[in-house]
Structure 1
Amino acid sequence: MTGHDLFLPTPLPVICAGLMVMLAVTAWRRSMGRSFSCAVGTLLLVLATVGRHAGTLPEDGGSLFIQDQWTTCTAILIVFSSLCILLMSWRDAMHDRDAPVDEYPLLLMLGTLGALSMVFSVNYMPFFLGLEILGISLMGLVAFGHRPAMAGHEAAMKYLILSGVSSAILLFGIGLAYGVTGSLRFMPPVANGNMPTALSVVATVMILVGMFFKLSTVPFHMWLPDVMEGAPVPVAAFVAVVSKIAIFSSLVRYFGTGEQPVFVNDILYVVIVLTIMGGNLLALRQVSLTRLMACSSIAHVGYLLIAFICPGHLQSRAITIYLAAYTASTLGVFAVMTAFATTAGPDGTVIAQWKGLFFSHPFLASAMSLMLLSLAGIPPGIGFFAKFEVAATGVEHQRGVLLCVLVIGSIIGLYYYLNIIRVMMSVPSLPPVRVTRHVRPELTALVIVLTIIVVIGGLFPARALHPFLPSPAVASGMRDGTVH
């Protein structure tokens, strides 16, 4: 590239500089407080610069990165989620004197860098590098924490093996795509308007399968509940939220938001039905809240794919709103789980342990109920408005089968979400134990903020989300790399 072709979104060098400062601080003198403070400060600076970029985007589409309204929105969601997860992790890391945890914020920041690199990419090279950076950091994060060491190591090993397999499939597809097109531009080889050859179809399918593995869609989903159960609760939140946003954003960027090739639509139809029904049915059998949230995450990916398969003026709006609703509601659930673990001990992720929470800690129980109702699509949470927008895209394109699957899946989801609320409202067999350890102030503040976001987004969606919604022109520019 020549000098005038250089284009770089500002958040990437900012977070890289923050990582270098954190490494220097760790090398000088280990201090958990300094590491976490540097991480929080870096993420706040990234939020302040998320809409800025350096250099000029070349008109021939030869850039590695892009900056538009879609990338800005998804980058904000990723950075906000990482900030929330750092706050969830603060006390446990600060009080763990048996293990050096300076690496924990480093790995989390490294994963955030990988996710942002994927979001901004319009070239195979930075996309795959970001994907591997995110995957490697997750392997280390999954093994951290106060859970039994064997559980964390087993979960990390499962993630290592299956992530390696999916990355190999994805890389093989990228190699075939390069062989067909002779370009590393981030777009499917069947999107050039010509009759697709067998090789281009195979390349597209392999890349799609690799992304499905990372998104944990059915039938590539079995790793997610095991990995999230073995990981610490904040890391499980990182897997369920940050990695999903990054992968889905890349999927939208890769295939664009227009009409897909027939074979891609056929594959997506089958995957959507299997993912929604499989995720919800698996969640019915779970006794661990972490595993239930993993299965719920699988189902929500299926709901998102309905909007993805329905191009039109409602599509970009529906995807953005649903991602925001899923992010706020899921982070809220994990924040309450983290707060409850400080009073219930390591078994706080078992659903039976939540019995009588409305009597012992009504604040946590009320916040958890609101988040679960939002995920189920019940007012006044933002999830109701998000699911309505997804259904509107299906109605616009007359996707009757997918709409029926969405309704059936939502009914099943309502059952297991309400079951958790029922457990919390049940009268405990013994008198409620008075909480001797109060909820940490930072977690209380985080739960309150997320609750406000969920309620305001549900009651006033137009005003709350309008600044972040992509304009209609963004949908037409997601594939061709136009900046809006």
Structure 2
Amino acid sequence: MTATLIAALPDVPAPVLVLAAGILVLLLAIACRRPGRESGTVAGAIIAAATLGLAFAGLWSPAPPHAADMARLFAADAWFAYGAGLILLSSGGILAMSWRQMAGERADEAHLLLLLGTLGAVVVAGSANAIAFFVGLETLSLSLLGLIAYRPRLPDAVEAAMKYLVLAGTSSAILLFGLALAYAETGDLRFTVPLAANPAEPALAMAATLLVLTGLFFKLSAAPFHLWLADVLDGAPTPVAAFIAVVSKIALFVALARYFAMTDLTGTAWPAQDLAIVAVLSMVGGNLLAFGQTKLKRLLAGSSIAHIGYLLVALLSAGPLGAGSAAFYLAAYAAATLGAFAALGAAPDQPDLAAWRGMFHRRPAVALALSIMLASLAGIPPAVGFFAKAYIVAAGMSAHRMLLLAALIVSSIIGLCYYLNVARVMMTPAPDTAAPAGAAASGTTVLLTALALATVLLGLFPGPLVQRTTALFRSAGPGGATLAASHDILYASTPPPRQRLLR
């Protein structure tokens, strides 16, 4: 048993090994002597080491496929490296944001849960096997449950944790049932749509795919499975809300793209039609949910749902621009959303929109940074979100996804209204009775400054990121790069023989 595990270690990506070893070190430190606030420094060092391990592991230059890849648990390819890099950088930013809010008697436990959630997200992003995917997903979900209820004195923290517990458990059960049906039909544990294996019973394979998608859409909070997100983000501490809206969404979208990597999504047949319906519902429903919200966390929850719809448009736009636009938009969304939550963390005692009146006069730096993030989410130049949306529009036009692009434009107009309304409120003179905004922690200030600069600079000079995201996917015929290209690194072109397990 031990020899088998040691032999399997070379196939495990470096970030997974580093994070797992670091979590064990922190557990030992907690068992021997509670490190308290020092655990934040240890957690930061572990995340930094995992990021360095990712950079020097050679994952950015994919190796050619070989037959042994069929049995691998992880797809250590460029698509995984890109997603894991975004996850680790976002987790590091959230750690900097939470330096003050998670300080206290149980700071070490909070940092341990943050590392466990990061490990689960990295495993989800790199899973090529259904078992590895589900284990990573549950690691992520259970750590989030503890983080949501970390501060039980918050009025809505326990309620948010209970809602997340019930819905996360239900969605996990649905997803696991779908994975079990797929295995029973195909005899294959690879994390991919079972219809790609030419099953003997296509109807059963279709049912398995629908169950898996239902569970994934619950986790992604894509419409119509999105109503839990606003309540959970509103009740959770701000750094935890940022973790849910950024880190978990990155991991799950990377996994969703890998799940469909061997499926043709260019036409209007199933499952492309179902994905298109979910994309439209998410874009329109998310923006309508955020429209008129009086709490900024709930507003950002609706925004997050809408941006999942935009990413699904990129996923459905197979062609020379589709894969690159999805990867580029993922980075733009992560920077802007994390920056928006960092701005909320800079004024933790003012969660309501009305409390931000006059913020340009009281805290001009925070107000300016939040305006930059909202401009990026709305797609207003020169922020990077403008180029990201234009990139998706170009990809959709090349793939002839006109109905999806019409929904994207209409929903973006709706979003423009509530994003600009936040800026209008911050420019409005504050009443004389307004409480002064407290000072932000140094970590939050540094993070907010870095993200604001990155959002503007990437919008002005998107070329390097475009080249990086395009290089993730090698040519796949005359159509150019597609998300399936990264999947070819793990799977050979000829599938192995299938054995149907259901009788």
TM-score for the superposition, normalised by structure 2 = 0.90
Indicate if the aligned counterparts of 1:279 and 1:298 stay in contact, CA closer than 8 A: yes
Shift of 1:471: 3.1
Of 4-13 and 201-210, more deviation after overlay is shown by 4-13
Shift of 1:349: 1.3
Given the alignment of the two structures, is residue 165 of structure 1 paired with residue 170 of structure 2, yes or no? yes
2:343 aligned residue: 336
1:271 aligned residue: 278
Given the alignment of the two structures, is residue 184 of structure 1 paired with residue 192 of structure 2, yes or no? no
1:240 aligned residue: 245
> Which deviations, in whole Å up to 9, do the C-alpha atoms of 1:70-114 show, x marking residues without a partner?
1111101000110011111101223x3xx4221100001000000
CA 1:32–1:187: 2 relative to 1, 3 Å: same
Indicate if the aligned counterparts of 1:225 and 1:294 stay in contact, CA closer than 8 A: yes
CA 1:25–1:465: 2 relative to 1, 3 Å: farther
- Equivalent position SS for 2:264: coil
CA 1:362–1:12: 2 relative to 1, 3 Å: same
CA 1:388–1:193: 2 relative to 1, 3 Å: farther
CA 1:10–1:476: 2 relative to 1, 3 Å: same
Q: Distance in 2 between matches of 1:457 and 1:257?
A: 32
Shift of 1:444: 1.4
- Equivalent position SS for 1:93: coil
Indicate if the aligned counterparts of 2:233 and 2:241 stay in contact, CA closer than 8 A: yes
- Equivalent position SS for 1:49: helix
Shift of 1:148: 3.8
Given the alignment of the two structures, is residue 115 of structure 1 paired with residue 116 of structure 2, yes or no? no
Of 381-390 and 257-266, more deviation after overlay is shown by 257-266
Shift of 1:465: 4.7
Indicate if the aligned counterparts of 1:355 and 1:424 stay in contact, CA closer than 8 A: yes
2:29 to 25, 42, 56: 25
2:145 aligned residue: 139
TM-score for the superposition, normalised by structure 1 = 0.93
Shift of 1:285: 2.8
2:331 to 324, 331, 336: 324
1:42 aligned residue: 46
Report the AA paired with residue 108 of structure 2: D
Q: Distance in 2 between matches of 1:255 and 1:454?
A: 30
Indicate if the aligned counterparts of 1:258 and 1:311 stay in contact, CA closer than 8 A: no
Structure whose residues are more often helix by fraction:
1
1:457 aligned residue: 458
> Which deviations, in whole Å up to 9, do the C-alpha atoms of 1:430-449 show, x marking residues without a partner?
287665x4332222111111
Q: Distance in 2 between matches of 1:237 and 1:258?
A: 32
Aligned residues: 473
> Which deviations, in whole Å up to 9, do the C-alpha atoms of 1:247-271 show, x marking residues without a partner?
1110000111752382111211211
Q: Distance in 2 between matches of 1:102 and 1:80?
A: 20
What is the CA RMSD across the aligned residues, in angstroms? 2.2
Q: Distance in 1 between matches of 2:251 and 2:473?
A: 20
Identity %: 43
Q: Distance in 1 between matches of 2:490 and 2:141?
A: 29
Given the alignment of the two structures, is residue 407 of structure 1 paired with residue 416 of structure 2, yes or no? no
Task: Provide structure 2 residue ranges, at least 5 long, that are not aligned to the other structure.
Answer: 476-481, 493-503
- Equivalent position SS for 1:106: helix
Q: Distance in 2 between matches of 1:92 and 1:4?
A: 39
Indicate if the aligned counterparts of 1:66 and 1:483 stay in contact, CA closer than 8 A: no
CA 1:125–1:353: 2 relative to 1, 3 Å: same
- Equivalent position SS for 2:94: helix
Shift of 1:243: 0.5
Q: How does 1:374-453 map to 2 (within 5 A)?
A: 374-430=376-432, 437-453=438-454
Q: Distance in 2 between matches of 1:432 and 1:266?
A: 50
Indicate if the aligned counterparts of 2:196 and 2:263 stay in contact, CA closer than 8 A: no
Q: Distance in 1 between matches of 2:316 and 2:150?
A: 38
- Equivalent position SS for 2:12: strand
Of 25-34 and 356-365, more deviation after overlay is shown by 25-34
Report the AA paired with residue 87 of structure 2: I
Given the alignment of the two structures, is residue 81 of structure 1 paired with residue 82 of structure 2, yes or no? no
> Which deviations, in whole Å up to 9, do the C-alpha atoms of 1:399-420 show, x marking residues without a partner?
1111110000000000000000
Shift of 1:463: 2.2
Q: Which has the higher contact order (CA 8 A, sep 6+)?
A: 2
Indicate if the aligned counterparts of 2:342 and 2:448 stay in contact, CA closer than 8 A: yes
1:93 aligned residue: 102
Q: Distance in 2 between matches of 1:408 and 1:20?
A: 49
Q: Distance in 1 between matches of 2:410 and 2:73?
A: 42
CA 1:241–1:172: 2 relative to 1, 3 Å: same
Given the alignment of the two structures, is residue 475 of structure 1 paired with residue 476 of structure 2, yes or no? no
Report the AA paired with residue 402 of structure 2: G
4+ aligned runs moved over 4 Å, structure 1 = 1-6, 193-196, 431-435
Indicate if the aligned counterparts of 1:10 and 1:49 stay in contact, CA closer than 8 A: yes
Task: Provide structure 1 residue ranges, at least 5 long, that are not aligned to the other structure.
Answer: none
Indicate if the aligned counterparts of 1:477 and 1:483 stay in contact, CA closer than 8 A: no
Indicate if the aligned counterparts of 1:257 and 1:315 stay in contact, CA closer than 8 A: no
Q: Distance in 1 between matches of 2:33 and 2:226?
A: 41
2:317 aligned residue: 310
- Equivalent position SS for 1:92: coil
Indicate if the aligned counterparts of 1:257 and 1:311 stay in contact, CA closer than 8 A: no
Report the AA paired with residue 402 of structure 1: L
